[in-house]
Amino acid sequence: MLTRSVLNEGDTSRLASKIKEALDVANDDSLEVAQKTEKATKVAFLGDSITAGSAASSSQNQYTKQFISWWEENISYFVVGTNAGIGATDSYLAVHRVDSEVLADNPDIIFIEFINDSDNDFYKTTMDSLIRKCLAQPNNPAVILVEMTMEDGTCPQNVHSEIGEYYNVPIISYHDAVLPEVEAGNIKWTDISPDNIHPNDDGHKMLAQMLENFVGGIKDNIDSVDTEAKAFDTSIESPTGDKYADAALEDKNSKIVTVKDAGDFTEQTSPWNFQDGWAASNGGSVTFEMEFKNLGMLYYKTVDGKSGSATVTIDGVECAEINADFTGGWGDYACNNEIVSFDEKGKHEVTVTVPEGKKFEILRWMIS
pLDDT band per the 50, 70, 90 thresholds, residue 142: very high
Candidate CATH numbers 3.40.50.1110, 1.10.390.10, 3.40.50.300, 3.40.30.10; the one for domain 6-220: 3.40.50.1110
Q: What is the pLDDT of residue 305?
A: 98
The candidate with the shortest Cα–Cα distance to 226, out of 9, 1, 4, is 9
Kindly state the DSSP code that residue 71 receives in the 8-state scheme: H
Q: Which residues have CB under 8 Å from 19's CB, separation 6+?
A: 75, 215, 218, 219, 222, 227
- In the chain, the N- to C-terminal Cα span, in Å, equals 40
* DSSP conformation letters of 214-228: HHHHHHHTTTTS---
Query: Mean pLDDT score of the chain, rounded to an integer?
Result: 98
**Distance from C-alpha of 296 to C-alpha of 364, rounded to nearest angstrom:** 9
The pLDDT value given to residue 308: 98
Query: What is the per-residue pLDDT across 238-256, written as a single tens digit (0 to 9) for each?
Result: 999 999 999 999 999 999 9
pLDDT for 43: 99
Listing DSSP states for 97-130 in one string gives HHHHHTGGG--SEEEEE-TTS-SSHHHHHHHHHH
pLDDT score at 277 = 98
359 CB burial (10 A radius; 0-12, 13-18, 19+): buried
Q: Where in the chain are the domains? A: 6-220, 249-367
pLDDT at 15: 98
What residue spans of the chain are helical by DSSP H?
13-26, 33-38, 49-52, 63-74, 91-101, 121-135, 157-166, 174-183, 189-192, 201-220
Any long-range contacts for 176-184 (C-beta under 8 Å, 24+ apart)? 176/4, 176/5, 176/7, 176/147, 177/1, 177/2, 177/4, 177/5, 177/206, 177/210, 178/1, 178/149, 178/203, 178/206, 179/149, 179/153, 180/1, 180/4, 181/1
| C-beta separation of 199 from 189 below 8 A | no
pLDDT band at 177 (very low <50, low <70, confident <90, very high): very high
pLDDT of residue 56: 98
pLDDT, tens digit (0-9, with 9 covering 90-100), for 266-311: 999 999 999 999 999 999 999 999 999 999 999 999 999 999 999 9
**Span 2-33, pLDDT tens digits:** 999 999 999 999 999 999 999 999 999 999 99
**Integer-rounded Cα radius of gyration of the chain:** 22
The rounded distance, in Å, linking the Cα atoms of 92 and 72 is 32
For the domain made up of 249-367, give the CATH fold.
Jelly Rolls (2.60.120)
Whole-prediction pTM: 0.98
Q: Are 286 and 278 in contact (CB under 8 A)?
A: yes
For residues 309-314, give the mean pLDDT: 98
Phi and psi angles of residue 206, each rounded to the nearest 5 degrees, phi first: -65, -45
Contacts of 66 (CB under 8 A, 6+ apart): 60, 204, 205, 208, 212
Q: Compute the distance between CA of residue 161 and CA of residue 145 in angstroms, rounded to an integer.
A: 8
Q: What mean pLDDT is predicted for residues 167-187?
A: 98
Query: Could you tell me the pLDDT band of residue 74, with boundaries at 50, 70 and 90?
Result: very high
pLDDT above 70 covers what percent of the chain? Answer: 100
| Spatial CB neighbours of 258, under 8 Å, sequence gap ≥ 6 | 288, 289, 290
